[in-house]
Each structure stands twice: as C-alpha cells, then as structure tokens.
Structure 1
Amino acid sequence: MSISTIGIDIGKSKFHVCALDERGHVKFRRAYSRSGLIQFLANTPPARVATEACAGAHFVGRKAQSFDHEARLLPGQYVKAYVKSQKNDFADAEAIAEASTRPTMRSVPVKPADRQALQLLHRQRSAWIGERTALANRIRAMLLEFGITIPKSLSQLRRQLPCVLEDAENELPDRLRELIVELWDDITRLDKRLKRLDSELETHAHADPQTQLLLSIPGIGPVIATALISGIGDASTFRKGRDLAAWMGLVPRQYSTGGQTRLLGIGKRGNAHLRMLLIHGARAVLRVASKRSEDDGLRRWVERVTARKHPNVAAVALANKMARIVHAVLRHNTPFKAQLMGA
C-alpha cells in the first residue's frame, strides 16, 4: 500500500519520520536531516503530513504544501495521549501520525511567511517592553539604596530622574550617576526601537484589507489589529465566535461532573499576549463608552454590564465580546457596526 500519513517529530537538525499506510500500519521509520526531509517530501506522492505545532512547524507545513501534501499542525497536548510505551523520537512521530488520522482532531492552520514574520515582530516588541521595564525597575532599586524613591511609573521616572542626577546634595556616588545615565541611555534606545516598530505596524495595519476591518472595532488599534491577524490566521477555522474567545481563554473554565455544571474563572488558554491586548483595549472602551451616542448598541451593552459587575469583570466580559466581534468581522468580511450590536 502507498503512504497515506506521514508523522514528523521536529528537531533542530534531525527530523524523525513515521509513515503509515491507508490502514494505519507503520510502513517505515526514518531520521532525516533538514535537507533530506525536504527531498523526501518532494519525492513522495501527496499524503497527509502531520507535525506538532511547535517552533519550525509552520516552515515544514509550508514546504509540505508546496509539494501538494495536506499539512496538519497538531497541538502537543492532543498528541501526548497517543504515545505508546516510553517516549522517544520515533514513538512521538508515530503518535503524531496516528493522532492526525482522527476525524475529530483539531489542527492549527499553517501561517504564511509574512503573517509569521508579523507575529515575530510582536514577540520582539513584547521583549523590548519587558527589557525597558526591567531597566526602569533596576534604576529605581539603585536609587532606593540611597534613600531616593521614585513612583512605579515610567512617566514618573522620565520626569524625576533628570532632577535626581543633577542634584549634587543627594550623596549619590559619581560612578553610580554614570551607571544610571548609561542605563537611561539604554531605555532611550529601546524607546526609539519601539517607536519605529509601532510606526511600521501602523503602516501595515492601514495597508492590509483585513486589518482595516478590525480597526473599525472600538478598542482595537493598529498594534492589537496586527497582533490578532498574525495570531489568529484564518478565522474560518473557528466555527463560531465563542470558539475564538475560548481559544484566547476568555470564556469561563468548566469543572462539571455528575450532571452538575460548575463555571469557574476564565480559562486563560491560548495566546496570553492576545488576551492581554484585548483586555487592555476593553478597558479603553469602558472609559469612553459614556461618550458614545445613546442609540449605540455597544454603549447600551456596556451600561448593562457595568451596572451589575466589577469593572475588572466588565473589562474581561467586553474582551470576550470583542473576540466574538473579531470573528464575525473577519468571517463575513464586513466592518463593525455598533448600531446592530445585540445583547
């Protein structure tokens, strides 16, 4: 029988392959280098090629699709149940291949190269913000050793640090002043990098048709819109808006048994970065919702929720609503209209 399914356990330089026939029997197990794997896929008739959704998986998926294979990227937690006996690379490859044959198995859509590059830009943006925060905290900690306190805010640090460095009576050693100036120069360089990157994301947001649709949603700007487009990929892979909200971890977590349904806090699954951005966007909407017109559906929805819920709960609820709106906007390729917003 011909090869029907190919499971690939991805490594840095070695790729372990398990090939199954149409009945699910193992035909062979082999290890390839990166170039050898590409040559193997190019010389193999079209089949289902499955990998775990991990680093390098989208590259392998795009290569498989270029050779007319059906690429499937599976979440690692769903593959684990199919690993037989002890764990090794060939056992993992076989488990990936077997899991991909299940009709109910979920998969991750293969990202185009430009969308993946956009996602990496957002990851680097988050890393630079983290580095800037760490530098600011380090400066505050150094000053605290000499009895100088600055509130925990980057804007406060920008405002007060020049005065602290110029004050000759605060007993700061000269070498420490030089070190703090060097750290502040690092923060300034990070500010310039972040400003350039934000400008690049804004240009991309106004040039991409799908991102322009997301900009019509209140609380979503260029940064959030480009992050959603790069993270979600194809919105049609989600059956409905609730599935997208659940993927982001914005729906209640269930712990139900014996016919008794128990709903806990939000699931916090999926992409934590997207969830954080949507919640921040929701907070911005809550602050200005009262300024929208009275016949605005979004304003009416916010007023009903904030009247009975804590502001933090209302922000998460609105983020959940925004995730569903994002799905509807991308799925139907139409901009958001607040007047048509229901409960």
Structure 2
Amino acid sequence: MESAAVAQIRFDDRVAIVTGAGNGLGREYALELARRGAKVVVNDLGGSGSGVGASATAAERVVEEIRDLGGTAVANTDSVATRAGGASVVQTALDAWGRVDVLISNAGFLRNSRFEDLTDEQIDPIIDVHLKAAFYVGQPAYRAMRANGYGRMLFTGSASAMFGHAWQANYASGKGAMVGLSNVIALEGSAYGIQSNVLLPTAVSRLADEMDQGFMEIPEFAKSIQTADFSASDGRVVPEFNTPLALYLVSENCQATHGLYSSNSGRYARVRICAGEGWVAPKGSVPPTLEDISTHFDKISELGEFSQPMTVYEEFTAVAAAARKQGVYP
C-alpha cells in the first residue's frame, strides 16, 4: 500500500547557517536549503582538506550558485575554530536577516596518522575545527534561537568515531564528542523549542585525498576493508545522498531530537547508544570483587535486553529495573 503524498518540505522565512559549505557535503546542504526557500549563510575558510591555507573563493562561488538559482545567500569566510570567528559567522546571519533558525555544523578537515605518532599539530587543529568550533558557532546560534523560541541544530559526527577507523584517533575523538554535545543541547534546548541531532554522513570527498593508506598495516582493519561488501554502494557514496536526511533533521517537520543517525549508500538509520541489562551485584553496600566481575563478565557484556537512557538519571531507573528482575532488590 502506497503512503499518502507528503507536502514539499520548505524552509521559507528560515535563516540557515552551514559551516564548511564551500565544498562537498556543506555545499550540497546549502544549495538544497536555498532551493527550498531558506536564506543561507555559506561559511567556508577556503582551506585545503588538511586545513591549510584560506581563500574566499569557495564560499563566494557557492553564494553565486545560489543566487543564480534565484535563492538568497551571503558568504562568510571566518574560521570557525576561534571564538571570534564563530561569533562573526552568526553575526553575519543576524546582520543580514535578524535571526538564526538552523545551524548545520559541518566544517572540518583531516590529518591522519598512527595513534602513537600523532603530534600536537595533528591533534589540536582537529579538535579546534570539530569540537571547539561546535561551541564557537553553536553558542551564539543557540542564543539567537532561544530568543525566537525555535531552532534546529545538526552536528556532523562520523562512523570513524562510532564504529572505528585506524589512523584516525584525532578525527574520531573530535567527531565522537559531537554526540555528547548534541545530547546536552537537545536536553537544554527542549525548554526553548530547540532540537539537536547528530548525523554520520558517508561520502567520498576531498578529505579522502588526505588519507594515508598506511592504516592497511593493521591486519584486522585491512581485512575489514578487503572483505567489505560494497555492492549496494556504487554511485551512492556522493554528498548528494546525505542531503535528504540532513535537511529533514533541521526542518520544521522533524520532531526528533537527542538522536544519532547514519547516512550510508542510501541507507538511513538511527544509531543507538544503549546499555545492556548487565549484572547487578549482591544487595548491600559492599562492592563486588574483581573476581566477581570476571565470573559475571559474559552477563555484563550481553546486549540481549537493553535500555536507552535519555539522561544520566534515567540510567538509575534502568538499574533499579534490572535489580528487580534479577531478584537483588524487591
């Protein structure tokens, strides 16, 4: 049975900021937002895939594309990796249109190497452009959204963080942090009409050119690449395949928040961080021993029954339920 037709999702009268919008994923997000009526701040420092250099050309080129299509956009070339730059990105939207409704925090670059070989020059800029930038642009954007009682925030995570990718400890750390940040924003923002989610996009982009294939030295990781089934991915690991889910998550139609979603080869799915039922130590205030943990480690590791706490405190409720189920507490 076919589902009823859904009215076109529009962003008319909405103001959107897309960071890292000069190329790849961000460019596609900005173009589609504009096609659907949004006014867009196209932010891009214009650096390379490894974060070197700067140029106004990338952002201005996308703005020109949007205007040629009849859309509305302005360029911003500030670095999101500084507090002043992040504030300027948001101020660009406020100066042009007086509000901010959507933030897609997408800017980033890659510098990969073995975990034990990563230098401060490979760690600090990656953390700055992924984690700190999410604060530097996110905080002023959040304040503007709160003032209007509405907002949609989308942070770009990565499967490299949630599932693992050799030689990307720095990148995965920055991307993994997006989950914790977004979850807290979703909780605090729920009082002010602000929603927040994380997307794990998959696309072959210019960042792929920065990947040193030395990670093939890790046997298990190399095997996972060599035995992977890519039969459903031909022609589907391009930026455009990520755009529909990204834009839905920042649309007024979407009521989902506090979520983590994967976009890979045309498969769109929610990714869960959950806790198994686990093993509950015997009643009382005496902690179990290491040997107790060893004895029950299989039970601790099971995920047959699991809970998905949406706050720290909901985990306590899940623990009490497990204790009752296992007969430890009435």
Higher RCO (CA-CA < 8 Å; seq separation 6+): 2
TM-score above 0.5, yes or no:
no
Larger radius of gyration: 1
Q: Larger helix proportion, structure 1 or 2?
A: 1
Scaled to the shorter chain, the TM-score interval is under 0.3
